[in-house]
Protein backbone atom coordinates (compact mmCIF):
# COMPACT_ATOMS: atom_id res chain seq x y z
CA UNK A 1 0.00 0.00 0.00
CA UNK A 2 2.73 2.40 1.09
CA UNK A 3 4.94 1.52 -1.88
CA UNK A 4 2.16 1.95 -4.33
CA UNK A 5 1.52 5.46 -2.98
CA UNK A 6 5.23 6.34 -3.33
CA UNK A 7 5.31 4.97 -6.87
CA UNK A 8 2.17 6.82 -7.77
CA UNK A 9 3.69 10.03 -6.49
CA UNK A 10 6.88 9.39 -8.44
CA UNK A 11 4.84 8.71 -11.54
CA UNK A 12 2.99 11.96 -11.09
CA UNK A 13 6.23 13.88 -10.54
CA UNK A 14 7.84 12.42 -13.67
CA UNK A 15 4.72 13.10 -15.67
CA UNK A 16 4.69 16.70 -14.43
CA UNK A 17 8.38 17.06 -15.31
CA UNK A 18 7.80 15.80 -18.84
CA UNK A 19 4.83 18.08 -19.06
CA UNK A 20 7.10 21.03 -18.31
CA UNK A 21 9.67 19.90 -20.89
CA UNK A 22 6.92 19.65 -23.49
CA UNK A 23 5.68 23.11 -22.61
CA UNK A 24 9.18 24.60 -22.80
CA UNK A 25 9.78 22.92 -26.18
CA UNK A 26 6.42 24.08 -27.43
CA UNK A 27 7.20 27.58 -26.18
CA UNK A 28 10.43 27.72 -28.20
CA UNK A 29 8.59 26.48 -31.29
CA UNK A 30 5.80 28.97 -30.69
CA UNK A 31 8.31 31.81 -30.46
CA UNK A 32 9.66 30.97 -33.90
CA UNK A 33 6.33 30.20 -35.54
CA UNK A 34 4.27 33.09 -34.22
CA UNK A 35 6.80 35.89 -34.24
CA UNK A 36 5.76 38.76 -36.42
CA UNK A 37 8.37 40.66 -38.33
CA UNK A 38 9.11 44.32 -37.83
CA UNK A 39 6.23 46.47 -38.94
CA UNK A 40 4.97 49.95 -38.24
CA UNK A 41 5.31 50.88 -34.57
CA UNK A 42 2.09 50.89 -32.53
CA UNK A 43 1.87 54.66 -32.32
CA UNK A 44 2.37 54.85 -36.09
CA UNK A 45 -0.39 52.30 -36.69
CA UNK A 46 -2.68 54.09 -34.27
CA UNK A 47 -2.05 57.41 -36.02
CA UNK A 48 -2.59 55.81 -39.44
CA UNK A 49 -5.92 54.41 -38.22
CA UNK A 50 -6.93 57.80 -36.87
CA UNK A 51 -7.28 56.25 -33.45
CA UNK A 52 -6.80 57.95 -30.11
CA UNK A 53 -7.91 57.01 -26.59
CA UNK A 54 -11.52 57.89 -25.87
CA UNK A 55 -12.29 60.60 -23.32
CA UNK A 56 -12.46 59.34 -19.74
CA UNK A 57 -16.09 60.47 -19.66
CA UNK A 58 -17.05 57.85 -22.29
CA UNK A 59 -17.10 55.03 -19.72
CA UNK A 60 -18.41 54.42 -16.21
CA UNK A 61 -15.61 55.20 -13.73
CA UNK A 62 -16.72 52.30 -11.55
CA UNK A 63 -17.38 49.32 -13.86
CA UNK A 64 -15.73 50.50 -17.08
CA UNK A 65 -18.82 49.99 -19.27
CA UNK A 66 -19.33 52.33 -22.21
CA UNK A 67 -21.84 54.86 -20.94
CA UNK A 68 -23.09 58.33 -21.74
CA UNK A 69 -21.63 60.75 -19.23
CA UNK A 70 -25.08 61.89 -18.07
CA UNK A 71 -25.97 58.31 -17.07
CA UNK A 72 -22.98 58.04 -14.72
CA UNK A 73 -23.29 59.29 -11.17
CA UNK A 74 -21.21 59.11 -7.99
CA UNK A 75 -22.81 55.69 -7.46
CA UNK A 76 -21.81 54.40 -10.90
CA UNK A 77 -24.02 53.60 -13.88
CA UNK A 78 -27.17 51.53 -14.45
CA UNK A 79 -24.96 48.44 -14.94
CA UNK A 80 -23.09 48.59 -11.67
CA UNK A 81 -25.59 50.39 -9.45
CA UNK A 82 -25.98 48.43 -6.23
CA UNK A 83 -22.91 46.25 -6.79
CA UNK A 84 -19.92 46.35 -4.49
CA UNK A 85 -16.81 45.80 -6.61
CA UNK A 86 -13.62 45.34 -4.57
CA UNK A 87 -12.00 48.21 -6.48
CA UNK A 88 -12.54 51.95 -6.48
CA UNK A 89 -12.36 52.81 -10.17
CA UNK A 90 -11.51 51.52 -13.63
CA UNK A 91 -9.42 53.23 -16.31
CA UNK A 92 -9.45 52.01 -19.92
CA UNK A 93 -8.28 53.21 -23.31
CA UNK A 94 -11.54 52.28 -25.01
CA UNK A 95 -14.14 49.62 -25.63
CA UNK A 96 -13.10 46.18 -26.87
CA UNK A 97 -13.76 46.98 -30.51
CA UNK A 98 -11.71 47.34 -33.68
CA UNK A 99 -9.06 48.50 -34.09
CA UNK A 100 -8.11 48.32 -30.38
CA UNK A 101 -9.34 44.72 -30.08
CA UNK A 102 -7.21 43.74 -33.07
CA UNK A 103 -4.11 45.27 -31.50
CA UNK A 104 -4.78 43.35 -28.29
CA UNK A 105 -5.01 40.17 -30.38
CA UNK A 106 -1.65 41.04 -31.96
CA UNK A 107 -0.17 41.49 -28.50
CA UNK A 108 -1.53 38.26 -27.04
CA UNK A 109 -1.40 35.84 -29.90
CA UNK A 110 1.04 37.20 -32.48
CA UNK A 111 3.92 38.18 -30.26
CA UNK A 112 3.66 41.84 -31.18
CA UNK A 113 5.06 42.82 -27.78
CA UNK A 114 5.33 46.54 -28.53
CA UNK A 115 1.57 46.95 -28.06
CA UNK A 116 2.05 46.24 -24.33
CA UNK A 117 4.33 49.20 -23.53
CA UNK A 118 2.32 51.35 -25.94
CA UNK A 119 -0.85 50.69 -23.96
CA UNK A 120 0.90 51.04 -20.60
CA UNK A 121 2.30 54.45 -21.47
CA UNK A 122 -1.08 55.69 -22.68
CA UNK A 123 -2.83 54.41 -19.56
CA UNK A 124 -0.20 56.15 -17.42
CA UNK A 125 -1.26 59.51 -18.85
CA UNK A 126 -4.84 58.94 -17.60
CA UNK A 127 -3.80 58.27 -14.00
CA UNK A 128 -2.77 60.78 -11.35
CA UNK A 129 -0.72 60.43 -8.20
CA UNK A 130 -2.96 59.78 -5.21
CA UNK A 131 -3.81 62.95 -3.32
CA UNK A 132 -4.50 61.29 0.01
CA UNK A 133 -0.99 60.12 0.84
CA UNK A 134 -1.40 56.51 -0.24
CA UNK A 135 1.70 55.09 -1.90
CA UNK A 136 0.93 53.77 -5.41
CA UNK A 137 2.17 50.38 -6.63
CA UNK A 138 1.42 48.54 -9.86
CA UNK A 139 0.46 44.86 -9.93
CA UNK A 140 -0.23 42.82 -13.09
CA UNK A 141 -2.82 40.03 -13.24
CA UNK A 142 -0.62 36.92 -13.47
CA UNK A 143 -0.74 34.04 -15.91
CA UNK A 144 -0.27 30.46 -14.76
CA UNK A 145 3.38 29.49 -15.41
CA UNK A 146 2.28 27.01 -18.07
CA UNK A 147 0.41 29.58 -20.12
CA UNK A 148 3.22 32.05 -19.65
CA UNK A 149 5.63 29.50 -21.09
CA UNK A 150 3.32 28.80 -24.00
CA UNK A 151 2.94 32.48 -24.77
CA UNK A 152 6.49 33.44 -23.80
CA UNK A 153 5.39 36.44 -21.72
CA UNK A 154 2.53 37.88 -19.70
CA UNK A 155 0.86 40.66 -21.67
CA UNK A 156 -0.54 42.28 -18.51
CA UNK A 157 3.00 42.51 -17.11
CA UNK A 158 4.21 44.31 -20.24
CA UNK A 159 1.47 46.89 -19.82
CA UNK A 160 2.07 47.17 -16.05
CA UNK A 161 5.84 47.58 -16.40
CA UNK A 162 5.48 50.46 -18.86
CA UNK A 163 2.80 52.14 -16.76
CA UNK A 164 4.92 51.84 -13.60
CA UNK A 165 8.02 53.18 -15.34
CA UNK A 166 6.14 56.10 -16.85
CA UNK A 167 4.69 57.17 -13.50
CA UNK A 168 7.79 56.32 -11.45
CA UNK A 169 5.81 53.85 -9.33
CA UNK A 170 6.94 50.44 -8.10
CA UNK A 171 6.06 47.35 -10.14
CA UNK A 172 5.00 44.70 -7.62
CA UNK A 173 3.97 41.31 -9.04
CA UNK A 174 2.26 40.26 -5.81
CA UNK A 175 -0.13 37.73 -7.29
CA UNK A 176 0.39 34.22 -8.55
CA UNK A 177 -1.98 32.01 -10.52
CA UNK A 178 -1.63 28.80 -8.56
CA UNK A 179 -4.21 26.76 -10.44
CA UNK A 180 -4.37 26.52 -14.22
CA UNK A 181 -7.79 27.65 -15.38
CA UNK A 182 -9.77 27.16 -18.52
CA UNK A 183 -9.48 30.14 -20.82
CA UNK A 184 -12.34 32.41 -19.75
CA UNK A 185 -13.18 32.81 -23.42
CA UNK A 186 -14.06 29.11 -23.63
CA UNK A 187 -16.68 29.35 -20.90
CA UNK A 188 -20.18 30.76 -20.67
CA UNK A 189 -20.40 33.94 -18.62
CA UNK A 190 -22.12 32.13 -15.76
CA UNK A 191 -19.16 29.76 -15.28
CA UNK A 192 -16.37 32.33 -15.30
CA UNK A 193 -16.37 33.32 -11.62
CA UNK A 194 -16.20 29.66 -10.55
CA UNK A 195 -13.39 29.06 -13.03
CA UNK A 196 -11.11 31.60 -11.36
CA UNK A 197 -12.26 30.92 -7.80
CA UNK A 198 -9.22 29.90 -5.75
CA UNK A 199 -6.99 30.22 -8.81
CA UNK A 200 -4.87 33.02 -7.35
CA UNK A 201 -2.57 33.44 -4.37
CA UNK A 202 -0.97 36.57 -2.97
CA UNK A 203 2.42 37.20 -1.39
CA UNK A 204 2.69 37.67 2.38
CA UNK A 205 2.77 41.45 2.34
CA UNK A 206 1.09 44.28 4.22
CA UNK A 207 -0.43 46.67 1.68
CA UNK A 208 -1.67 49.10 4.32
CA UNK A 209 -1.09 52.67 3.15
CA UNK A 210 -0.82 51.59 -0.49
CA UNK A 211 -2.94 52.23 -3.54
CA UNK A 212 -2.67 49.24 -5.86
CA UNK A 213 -3.23 49.60 -9.60
CA UNK A 214 -4.22 46.17 -10.86
CA UNK A 215 -3.45 45.76 -14.55
CA UNK A 216 -4.94 43.45 -17.18
CA UNK A 217 -5.43 43.54 -20.92
CA UNK A 218 -9.22 43.16 -21.17
CA UNK A 219 -12.09 43.24 -18.68
CA UNK A 220 -15.05 41.13 -19.73
CA UNK A 221 -17.19 39.88 -16.84
CA UNK A 222 -14.63 41.16 -14.32
CA UNK A 223 -14.40 37.74 -12.63
CA UNK A 224 -10.60 37.59 -12.80
CA UNK A 225 -10.20 41.19 -11.63
CA UNK A 226 -12.64 40.61 -8.76
CA UNK A 227 -10.69 37.56 -7.54
CA UNK A 228 -7.38 39.43 -7.69
CA UNK A 229 -8.70 42.66 -6.15
CA UNK A 230 -10.24 40.77 -3.23
CA UNK A 231 -6.85 39.25 -2.41
CA UNK A 232 -5.21 42.68 -2.53
CA UNK A 233 -7.89 44.00 -0.17
CA UNK A 234 -7.27 41.03 2.15
CA UNK A 235 -3.70 42.30 2.44
CA UNK A 236 -5.09 45.63 3.66
CA UNK A 237 -4.60 47.64 0.45
CA UNK A 238 -5.82 51.17 1.12
CA UNK A 239 -7.38 51.26 -2.33
CA UNK A 240 -7.44 49.05 -5.42
CA UNK A 241 -7.90 50.58 -8.87
CA UNK A 242 -8.03 48.84 -12.22
CA UNK A 243 -6.35 49.79 -15.49
CA UNK A 244 -7.07 47.74 -18.61
CA UNK A 245 -6.49 48.31 -22.28
CA UNK A 246 -10.14 47.68 -23.15
CA UNK A 247 -13.47 46.75 -21.61
CA UNK A 248 -15.85 44.43 -23.45
CA UNK A 249 -19.37 45.72 -23.78
CA UNK A 250 -21.83 43.20 -22.34
CA UNK A 251 -24.38 44.38 -24.90
CA UNK A 252 -22.07 43.28 -27.71
CA UNK A 253 -23.02 39.93 -29.22
CA UNK A 254 -19.34 38.94 -29.40
CA UNK A 255 -18.97 39.46 -25.64
CA UNK A 256 -18.76 35.77 -24.77
CA UNK A 257 -16.13 35.05 -27.40
CA UNK A 258 -13.54 37.49 -26.10
ZN1 LIG B 1 -20.91 51.24 -14.11
Compute CA distances 231 → 61, 141, 176, 206, whole Å: 21, 12, 11, 12
pLDDT category, 2, cuts 50, 70, 90?
Answer: very low
pLDDT at res. 27: 52
Q: Which of 228, 46, 229, 210 is nearest to 122 (CA)?
A: 46
CA–centroid distance, 78 to ligand 1, in Å, is 6
Q: Which of 209, 220, 247, 256 is nearest to 91 (CA)?
A: 247
CA–centroid distance, 82 to ligand 1, in Å, is 10
CA–centroid distance, 222 to ligand 1, in Å, is 12
What is the C-alpha separation between 65 and 84, in angstroms, rounded?
15
Half-sphere exposure in the Cβ direction for 108 (13 Å, CA)? 15
CA–centroid distance, 77 to ligand 1, in Å, is 4
Q: What is the pTM of this model?
A: 0.82
pLDDT at res. 40: 84
Question: Could you say which of 3.40.50, 3.30.70, 3.30.450, 3.90.550 is the CATH number of the domain covering 38-257?
Answer: 3.40.50
pLDDT in tens, 83-112: 999 999 999 999 999 999 999 999 999 989
What is the C-alpha separation between 150 and 161, in angstroms, rounded?
20
CA–centroid distance, 79 to ligand 1, in Å, is 5
CA–centroid distance, 63 to ligand 1, in Å, is 4
Amino acid sequence: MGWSIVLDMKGAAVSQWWDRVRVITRSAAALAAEAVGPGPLPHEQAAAAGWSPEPLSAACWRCGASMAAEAVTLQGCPYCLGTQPPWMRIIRLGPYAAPLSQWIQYLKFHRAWAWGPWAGELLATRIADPVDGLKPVVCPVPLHWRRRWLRGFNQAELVARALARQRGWALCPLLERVRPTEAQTSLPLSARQANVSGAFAIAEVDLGGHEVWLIDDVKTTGATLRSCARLLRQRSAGRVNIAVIAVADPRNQAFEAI
